Amino acid sequence: MLLRRTAVRLSAAALCVALYASNALAGDGRALLKYLPKDAPGVLVVNMEQLGKSALYQELMKSATSSPEVKKALDDARALLGADPLTAIKTVVVAFPSVQSGQDALLAFEPNFDAERTAKKAVSEGKAKLQETYNGAALYAGTGAGQGMMTVLGGQIVTGEAAAVKKAVDQFKKKGPSAEKNADLMKRLTGVATTNDLIFAMKPSAEMRKTMNGEAQKMEGVNGGLDFEKGVGAKFDVTFDSPKTATDTVAQIKGGLTGLGSNPQAAMFGADILAKKLNVTAAGKDVKLSLALDEADVARLKTTLGMLAAMSGAMGGQQGGAPGMMPPQGR
């Protein structure tokens, strides 16, 4: 269910207009960075146009859109946009929150439709409301509670909590520094190939590191990418406080992989693939991880996950819940 919800939120990102109210980016999301705060500890860029062409994504969306609830949401979005919501977004950029509250998280979307016109249409149809005008920008809110705010800046959609959206407006109006001015974060982000479907970079704040365990507390930064063109390809670079920490971390990971490779139960769940395909090395303070799953590996994992889902559904049914669902819980 989590994968389904995540995929739907990304692919139907155009719904943010309804709920809250030529590809110039080349998929790297740099043109959207001007809306993100300089102090964001991390940035995620999703090239929706490229991701949408992958077989894995198409299969996932086919499954997700079989849900009546999802189908209705997409139909509502299609009526509002006058276009297919599954192809309505070119690029998504996410600013990770700097604090646990998540209140400064921000999302920016490059749409394939006229966002300003659509926002006004949503207001006229009672699906959103004009909350206020701030620094010349119209801020829209949903008709329900807890939906945050949305605005359109330079044809792009920016959404998040009110304070974060207003900060984005100020940055757009050249009144505040944006993520583009965060040299370390930008260096990490530009170090990832934009041929990936997803790229990210993060420099965890002190508060974030306090919530981590073990060697992770010594992590200074991480960047990487995911590519779903053929199978699944992943590359991550993690920088620690010292070469020793990096070497120790590699030893711990390799020890765990050795255990997976010799564990019959792990093989039953497909986890032995990690032991065979995950490559981990240390280079100075950096730990470099790479994973290349071919289509046969992915097919095996999908079969395994399907079996686990079926078993979970059967167990849920035995305990009094509907198939595939958790049994009712008391309040």
More reliable by pLDDT, 144 or 150? 150
- Helices 115-124 and 68-81 meet at what angle, rounded to 10? 110
CB neighbour class for 179 (10 Å; exposed up to 12, middle 13-18, buried from 19): buried
**DSSP string computed for 259-276:** HHHT-HHHHHTTTHHHHH
Residue 91 exposure: Cα atoms within 13 Å on the Cβ side:
23
Residue 203 exposure: Cα atoms within 13 Å on the Cβ side:
13
Q: For 116-145, what is each residue's pLDDT tens digit? A: 999 999 999 888 899 999 999 999 998 766
Quick one: the chain helix, strand, coil %, rounded to 5? 45, 25, 30
Task: Specify the pairing of strand 89-95 against strand 232-240.
Answer: unpaired
* pTM for the structure as a whole: 0.78
Q: For 169-199, what is each residue's pLDDT tens digit? A: 998 888 778 888 888 888 898 888 888 999 9
| CA distance to 84, 161, 198, per residue, from 54 (Å) | 18, 32, 12
Mean pLDDT of the chain: 80
The pLDDT-based confidence of 43 (bands split at 50, 70, 90) is very high
Q: What is the per-residue pLDDT for 99?
A: 66
More reliable by pLDDT, 224 or 85? 224
